């Protein structure tokens, strides 16, 4: 069984500050991991993915995440927050070894950016 | 390249009715998955279709069903609607080859059951 835990349902940062959104996973096999962002009244947009290549993954909009097997973590970071980053962020894990594509999502973290 | 499209975007139904939602995947994508998003349960996987066959199913009652057509377009159906079925239903498509596991989501269909 797989699961994803996102610590902190709400995170507030000042514009220009570091963004750190936490994600820990549980998987019986090496996981594929994803971060998605959801803006109000929209679907999910893929930010970045980890699929067993480089452990430091760069995504869109200046976000990156580091896969740490020893800590079972895949935290999302951005050096400098922008007002447009305010949204809800979801970490997800995939059971890739079965060839199937069901994603298990965390409960989400709402990021607020203060001017 | 056009993204995943879903129709309709908004829907209001009455308890006991049934509803059909439609999804057109990105061109060339053969896998289509459906998810339900609610404030209480979050994002939950419903089912995945590939080559017109359901190959993966989440933990939802049989009232939730789907199908996929030869052009990879997919529909999902919910029969005998309940108030708890009110949710955002998201469709996602994927290339379905062994090198690509990311899914691309549509804007969703917001279903309200009264």
Which chain B residue lies closest to A96 (C-alpha atoms)?
B101
Note whether B56 and A101 are within 8 A (CB).
yes
- pLDDT in the model for residue A53: 76
Q: Identify the residue with better confidence: A102 or A53.
A: A102
Beta strands in B1-114 (DSSP E): 5-7, 10-13, 19-24, 31-38, 42-50, 53-57, 64-68, 74-78, 87-94, 104-105, 109-113
- Interface touch B101/A101, C-beta < 8 Å: yes
B58 touches chain A (CB under 8 A): yes
Question: What three-state secondary structure class fits A61?
Answer: helix
Percent of chain A at pLDDT > 70 equals 97
> B29 CA to chain A: closest CA distance, Å?
13
Condensed to tens digits (0 to 9), the pLDDT of residues B30-89 reads 999 999 999 999 999 999 999 999 988 999 999 999 999 999 999 999 999 999 999 999
Lowest-pLDDT range of A29-33, A76-80, A110-114, B42-46: A29-33
Rounded CA separation B78/A56 (Å): 41
B42 touches chain A (CB under 8 A): yes
Contacts of B55 in chain A (CB under 8 A): 100
B36 touches chain A (CB under 8 A): no
> B79 CA to chain A: closest CA distance, Å?
23
Whether the per-residue pLDDT at B1 is higher than 90: the answer is no
Contacts of A34 in chain B (CB under 8 A): 102
- State the count of interchain CB pairs (< 8 A) between A and B: 58
Condensed to tens digits (0 to 9), the pLDDT of residues A52-96 reads 778 899 999 999 999 998 999 999 999 999 999 999 999 999 876
Note whether A9 and A109 are within 8 A (CB).
yes
- pLDDT in the model for residue A1: 75
- Interface touch B56/A102, C-beta < 8 Å: yes
Lowest-pLDDT range of B3-7, B66-70, B96-100: B96-100
Percent of chain A at pLDDT > 90 equals 75
> B25 CA to chain A: closest CA distance, Å?
14
- Interface touch A102/B4, C-beta < 8 Å: no
Tokens of B15: 């308890």
- pLDDT in the model for residue B107: 96
Averaged pLDDT, B85-103: 87
- pLDDT in the model for residue B18: 98
- Interface touch A43/B31, C-beta < 8 Å: no
Whether the per-residue pLDDT at B100 is higher than 80: the answer is no
* Alpha-carbon dihedral sign for residues A49, B57, B95, B109: negative
Rounded CA separation A20/B65 (Å): 39
């Amino acid at each position: 069984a797989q699961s994803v835990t996102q610590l902190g349902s709400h995170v507030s940062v000042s514009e220009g500050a570091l963004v750190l959104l936490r994600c820990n996973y549980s998987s019986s096999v090496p996981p594929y991991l994803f971060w998605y962002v959801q803006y109000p009244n929209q679907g999910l947009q893929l930010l970045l993915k980890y699929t067993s290549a480089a452990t430091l993954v760069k995504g869109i909009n200046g976000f990156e995440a580091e896969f740490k097997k020893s800590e079972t973590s895949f935290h999302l970071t951005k050096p400098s927050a922008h007002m447009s980053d305010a949204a809800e962020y979801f970490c997800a894990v995939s059971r890739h070894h079965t060839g199937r594509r069901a994603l298990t999502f965390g409960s989400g973290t709402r990021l607020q950016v203060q001017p | 390249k056009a993204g995943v499209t879903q129709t309709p975007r908004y829907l209001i139904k009455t308890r006991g009715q049934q509803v059909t939602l439609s999804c057109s995947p990105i061109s060339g994508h053969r896998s289509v998955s459906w998810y339900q998003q609610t404030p209480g349960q979050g994002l939950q996987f419903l089912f995945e279709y590939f080559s017109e066959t359901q190959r993966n199913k989440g933990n939802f009652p049989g009232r939730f069903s789907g199908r996929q057509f030869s052009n990879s377009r997919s529909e999902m159906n919910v029969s005998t609607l309940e108030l708890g079925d009110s949710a955002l239903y998201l469709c996602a498509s994927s290339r379905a080859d062994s090198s690509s596991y990311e899914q691309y989501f549509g804007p969703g269909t917001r279903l309200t059951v009264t």
